[in-house]
Amino acid sequence: MSIMINTKEIIAKRFRQIVEEICASPEHDYKIDRLAKNAGISKYHFHRLFSLFYGVNIYEYVILKRLGIASVKLKNSDESITEIAFSSGYSSSQSFAKAFKNYFAQSPSEFRKAPNLQKYLMLNQKTNLVENLSMSDAKIPNIEIIEFKGINIAGLRHRGSPNALYETIEKFIAWRIKNHLPPQKYATFNIFHNPLEQSEYDFEVGCEYNENTKFDEGFKETTIPALKCASLNYIGDPDDIGIPATQLYKWVIDNGYEPNDYPLFCRRVSFPPFVNPNEAEAILYLPIK
pLDDT of 138 reads: 45
Predicted confidence (pLDDT) per residue in 26-45, tens digit:
889 888 888 888 888 888 88
Mean pLDDT score, 131-154: 76
**Euclidean distance between CA atoms 176 and 271, whole angstroms:** 15
More confidently predicted of 49 and 224: 224
pLDDT at 200: 66
Q: What is the pLDDT confidence band of residue 140, given thresholds at 50, 70 and 90?
A: low
> Which pLDDT value is given to residue 20?
86
pLDDT in the model for residue 242: 79
Mean pLDDT of 154-169: 86
pLDDT at residue 108 greater than cutoff 70? yes
pTM for this model (two decimals): 0.65
Residues 6+ apart with CB under 8 A from 94: none
Strands, sheet with 188-194, edge to edge from the N-terminal-most edge strand: 143-148, 227-235, 281-287, 265-270, 188-194, 201-207, 151-160, 219-224
The mean predicted confidence, pLDDT, of the chain is 85
116 band by pLDDT with thresholds 50, 70 and 90:
confident
* Distance of alpha carbon 41 from alpha carbon 275, whole angstroms: 37
Concatenating the DSSP letter of every residue in the chain gives: -HHHHHHHHHHHHHHHHHHHHHHH-TTS---HHHHHHHHT--HHHHHHHHHHHHSS-HHHHHHHHHHHHHHHHHHH----HHHHHHHTT-SSHHHHHHHHHHHHSS-HHHHHHS--HHHHHHHHHHHHHHHTT----PPP--EEEEEE--EEEEEEEEEE-GGGHHHHHHHHHHHHHHTT--TTTS-EEEEEEE-SSGGGEEEEEEE---TT----TTEEEEEE--EEEEEEEEES-GGGTHHHHHHHHHHHHHTT--B-SSPPEEEEEE-TTSS-GGG-EEEEEEEB-
Which residues, in sequence order, are bridge partners of residue 268?
188, 282
pLDDT tens-digit profile of 67-80?
988 988 898 888 99
Work out the average pLDDT over 53-61: 83
Rounded Cα–Cα distance for residues 221 and 155 (Å): 6
| Percentage with pLDDT > 70 across the chain | 91
The per-residue pLDDT for 222 is 97
pLDDT at 135 over 60: no
**pLDDT tens digits, residue range 194-247?**
755 555 678 899 999 999 999 999 999 999 999 999 999 998 878 778 778 888
Q: Exposed (0-12), middle (13-18) or buried (19+): which is 261, by Cβ within 10 Å?
A: exposed
Q: Which amino acid is at 190?
A: N
Q: Binning pLDDT at 50, 70 and 90, where does residue 132 land?
A: low
The pLDDT of residue 146: 96
